Amino acid sequence: MLCSREILNFLIRKDVKKILKRKDSDAGQRGKALEDLRASIFNKFRSSESAKRQQQRICGPVAALTFNFMVAVGIIFMNKWVLKNVGFQFPVFLTFIHYAVSWALMAILNSFALLPASPPSKSTPLSLFTLGVVMSLSTGLANVSLKYNSVGFYQMAKIAVTPSIVLAEFIWYKKKVTFSKVVALTVVSIGVAIATVTDLQFSLFGACVAVAWIIPSAVNKILWSNMQQQENWTALSLMWKTTPITLLFLVSMIPFLDPPGVLAFHWSFNNTSAILVSAFLGFLLQWSGALAL
């Protein structure tokens, strides 16, 4: 409905009317004019700014947060199932599979010209590179933490990300938080902590990984939010640009954080299906998280 209204508004513009009303005898010129019109419509709705407005209209804050919450809960239990029950004891390589599947899905969208274009170059290659590296650390360490810790402790560590974001934004951008937001954040944090305190089973190494995961996770969310809100990046276009960098750094992390033997894993149909479902949820989590930001 919204897209139809945009198209109607576009078609009633004066310059478009002139093209539609042309009465050139030359059929070739008329065909060229219609081709130019079609290209103009395509470019308008594929541009980063139009795509971002469309994204904001279709997926408002409540819908984005709800979507992100449901996917986040699903992938935590799915990843834990893959790491524990399926026996795929390679959390960083699992993260690599997640991003590889995400990149493949975005490549398919891009081949059909369904991926929004990147905005006019405001982001430096260094900022995109930094975001890709931080993403690899954030997601890779998160799955390592999930392998060595219980779901309860994993959620406890995740609670600390939000205060870290608030503190980092105050230091970097001088953003102040109202007293009511501080109270709300404290109440929610205490509530989740109480709900999961009975499940605190963790190893010393897992606890260290969980603490190390908090900082890149907070930085990741701040960078994503800043680039989307100030530089008109859409979620998918920013994912498309940063995923190759993330894949590269995940490969460099595998020898240090994953045990050997990934090639000896029994890749049965059921095991592979579980890993691919986890990977698809990973794509939805990354996309929904970017939408929420």
pLDDT band at 2 (very low <50, low <70, confident <90, very high): very low
Q: How confident is the model at residue 273 (pLDDT cuts 50, 70, 90)?
A: very high
Greatest distance between any 2 Cα atoms in the chain = 81
Q: How far is CA 9 from the centre of its chain?
A: 32
To the nearest 10°, report the CA torsion of 90, 277, 65, 288: 80
* 105 found inside a domain: yes
Question: 292 is written with which tokens?
Answer: 């929420």
Q: At residue 44, does pLDDT exceed 80?
A: no
**What amino acid occupies position 289?**
G
Rounded to an integer, what distance in angstroms lies between the CA atom of residue 259 and that of residue 281? 24
150 within domain boundaries: yes
Mean pLDDT across the chain, nearest whole number?
Answer: 77
Task: Give pLDDT, residue 288.
Answer: 80
Predicted pLDDT at 166: 78
Q: What is the pLDDT of residues 134-170, one digit of tens each?
A: 999 999 999 999 998 887 778 777 877 877 787 777 7
Q: Is residue 66 part of a domain?
A: no
Over residues 178-195, the pLDDT tens digits come to 777 677 667 766 765 665
Q: For residue 230, tell me if it sits in a domain.
A: yes
pLDDT 10s digits, 213-230: 988 998 998 888 888 877
Residue 116 domain flag: yes
The confidence score (pLDDT) of residue 255 equals: 92
Please provide the distance, in angstroms rounded to a whole number, between the alpha carbons at the two ends of the chain.
25
Q: What is the pLDDT of residues 10-31, one digit of tens each?
A: 444 545 445 445 544 445 554 5
Residue 233 placed within a domain: yes
Q: Which helix (H) or strand (E) holds 147?
A: helix 125-148
Structure confidence at residue 62 (pLDDT): 66
DSSP 217-286: HHHHHHHHHHHHHHH---HHHHHHHHHHHHHHHHHHHHHHHSPS-GGGS---HHHHHHHHHHHHHHHHHH
Are the C-beta atoms of 101 and 280 separated by less than 8 Å? yes
DSSP 118: P
Q: What is the pTM of this model?
A: 0.75
For residue 193, being part of any structural domain is answered with yes
SS3 helix, strand, coil % of the chain, rounded to 5?
A: 80, 0, 20
Q: Percent of the chain beyond pLDDT 70?
A: 70
Residue 161 lies in a domain: yes
Confidence of residue 197 (pLDDT cuts 50, 70, 90): low
Mean of the pLDDT values across residues 72-83? 91
Q: Is 179 helix (H, G, I), strand (E, B) or coil?
A: helix
Residue 286 token pair: 């990354």
| Residue-number span of the structural domain to which 243 is assigned | 89-264
The tally of domains found in the chain comes to 1
Examine the pLDDT at 198 and tell me if it is beyond 50: yes
Strand partners, 202: 149
pLDDT at 10: 45
Q: Please answer whether residues 119 and 232 qualify as being in contact, where contact means their C-beta atoms are separated by less than 8 angstroms.
A: yes
Q: Are 201 and 150 in contact (CB under 8 A)?
A: yes
